[in-house]
Amino acid sequence: MGVRGLFNYIMYSKKHVTDLYHQPIMDLIFQASNIHRQHHTANEIQVCTLLSIKTGGCPEDCAYCSQAARYHTGVKAHKILAVDEVLQHAQNAKDAGSTRFCMGAAWREVRDNKDFDNVIEMVKGVNAMGMEVCCTLGMLTESQAHKLKEAGLYAYNHNLDTGEEHYEEVITTRTYKDRLETIGNVQKSGISVCSGGIIGLGETDADRIDMLFTLANLNIQPESVPVNALVAIEGTPLENQKRVSVWEMVRMIATARILMPKTMVRLSAGRLEMTIEEQTLCFMAGANSIFAGDKLLTTPNPDQNQDQQMFELLQLTPRPAFK
């Protein structure tokens, strides 16, 4: 177990996280599933929708990303979408059963300009529809975070992506410290934090454990942790990475669930290549959310019919917003 830290929150040791992570898979799933059922309604899955409001042309060098301008990935750069268009997408997502709407922009950081004013309008509009509204716009100052909070932003996504040591193998145009700073700014504004990572970037188990260790020991645990399997993108440095196995996803999800009992653990990128049986293992391991709709940001995702069939087959119920 962890010890109480300076601010009276539980701190987990690296050894504790390592021991949890390396347990026999059945023990790990069993423990995670028990904890899941103590803190969440069994069989309930939150359905979220993503929309890329500003695609491509990004100055950063994230080695996995289809939107980095420096790689030739076939993703065309677009300017920011109009507010009306975004709100129409949000309405469609709501009508299709989503309770959370996440808007992504291929920016290094937010700038105080007209584009940001438009994002503020989008946040107000989606919030007024009664959905949890989330944004992922890159680095953010404290005052920008406050503006988003005032507009009704519920969550801000800013992934750690991997462990601290492996980070510079994947991204060199910003640091892990920059990432943590933005997360701190989001926390200070009272917006809830969504932060997770990607597996399959060439990291070791120790790097995955490092990332979970950092997330679980944040002074406030993230409200949401997305676990992504790398979608290998042609033209990026990671184009030839091997697809991760379901056991790696399960191990990550279950350890996250045990360390962060109240958090929403999201089975994020990579579902298109997973069977229903594999996704079920992830839900048993404590994942309680998916992204729906036939597109993530730039890559394909299972379509609505496939997910509806999965919900019926597994007798899953959608989780309401703001629960």
Binding site for ligand SF4 (CB under 6 A): 58, 60, 62, 65, 67-68, 106, 108, 138
Helices and strands (H and E) in the chain: how many: 11, 12
318: helix, coil or strand? strand
Q: Can you read off the two tokens belonging to residue 194?
A: 């969504």
CB neighbour list of residue 15: distance below 8 Å, 6 or more residues apart: none
Report the alpha-carbon angle 197-160-234, nearest 5. Answer: 55
Interaction of residue 157 with ligand DTB, rule CB under 6 A: yes
Report the alpha-carbon angle 101-289-100, nearest 5. Answer: 15
Among 308, 313, 116, which Cα is nearest to 290's?
308
Among ligand SAM, ligand DTB, ligand SF4, none, the one that 68 touches (CB under a kind-dependent 5 to 8 A) is: ligand SF4
Interaction of residue 64 with ligand SAM, rule CB under 6 A: yes
Interaction of residue 298 with ligand DTB, rule CB under 6 A: yes
Contact 137, 53 (CB under 8 A): no
Q: Which stretch binds ligand DTB (CB under 6 A): 19-27, 173-181, 210-218, 292-300?
A: 292-300
Interaction of residue 268 with ligand DTB, rule CB under 6 A: yes
| Cα–Cα distance for residue pair 39/277, rounded to 1 Å | 24
Smallest separation, CB 323 to ligand DTB (Å): 20
Interaction of residue 55 with ligand SAM, rule CB under 6 A: no
Interaction of residue 213 with ligand SAM, rule CB under 6 A: no
Among ligand DTB, ligand SF4, ligand SAM, none, the one that 215 touches (CB under a kind-dependent 5 to 8 A) is: none
- Over the window 188 to 227, marking each residue x when it contacts ligand DTB by CB under 6 A and - when it does not, the resulting string is --------x-----------------------------x-
Contact 224, 263 (CB under 8 A): yes
Interaction of residue 136 with ligand DTB, rule CB under 6 A: yes
Contact 227, 235 (CB under 8 A): no
User: How many CB atoms lie under 10 A from the CB of residue 309?
Assistant: 12
> Which residue in the set 31, 221, 224, 228 belongs to the binding site for ligand DTB (CB under 6 A)?
228
**Residues designated catalytic:** 58, 62, 65, 102, 134, 194, 266
Taking CA atoms, 163 is separated from 38, 69, 303, in Å, by 29, 25, 32
Interaction of residue 182 with ligand DTB, rule CB under 6 A: no
> Which residue in the set 56, 104, 222, 293 belongs to the binding site for ligand SAM (CB under 6 A)?
104
Q: Which stretch binds ligand SAM (CB under 6 A): 9-17, 140-148, 223-231, 303-311?
A: 223-231
